[in-house]
């Protein structure tokens, strides 16, 4: 069973976390099951960017992003080449290292 390593995030998992995840589960659902409360404003329907994560290792094991996911990633804050929406990226057969961005679009707009 693949492992997902969540790098430390100040609010969501200050110590980081290493979890086992079954193949086919979304990164968002895997995190939520472990009490890592990744924001998911659209209820995981690929209609926002709040669950954006960086896949620092294992990115190539994931299925390619759909055009819809790519469109939303274009609007996310702090996107880089290893960005994915965690509600859409499904665990495959490799271990993953995930970095949850410090900010989301929602958080940025709430603080201005």
Q: Provide the pLDDT for residue 112.
A: 42
Residue-range domains of the chain with CATH: 3-110 (3.10.20.30)
pLDDT in tens, 53-73: 999 999 999 999 999 999 999
**Intervals of the chain under pLDDT 70:** 105-112
pLDDT for res 108? 52
Q: In angstroms, what CA-CA distances link 62 with 49, 50, 58, 84, 97? A: 18, 19, 7, 10, 12
pLDDT at 106: 64
């Amino acid at each position: 069973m693949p492992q997902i390593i969540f790098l430390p995030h100040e609010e969501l998992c200050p110590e980081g976390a290493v979890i086992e995840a079954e193949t086919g589960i979304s990164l968002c659902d895997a995190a939520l099951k472990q009490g890592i409360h990744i924001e998911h404003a659209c209820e995981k329907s690929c209609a926002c960017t709040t669950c954006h994560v960086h896949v620092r290792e294992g990115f190539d094991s994931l299925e390619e992003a759909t055009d819809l996911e790519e469109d939303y990633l274009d609007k996310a804050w702090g996107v880089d080449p290893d960005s994915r929406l965690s509600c859409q990226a499904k665990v495959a057969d490799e271990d993953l290292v995930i970095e949850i961005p410090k900010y989301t679009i929602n958080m940025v707009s709430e603080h201005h």
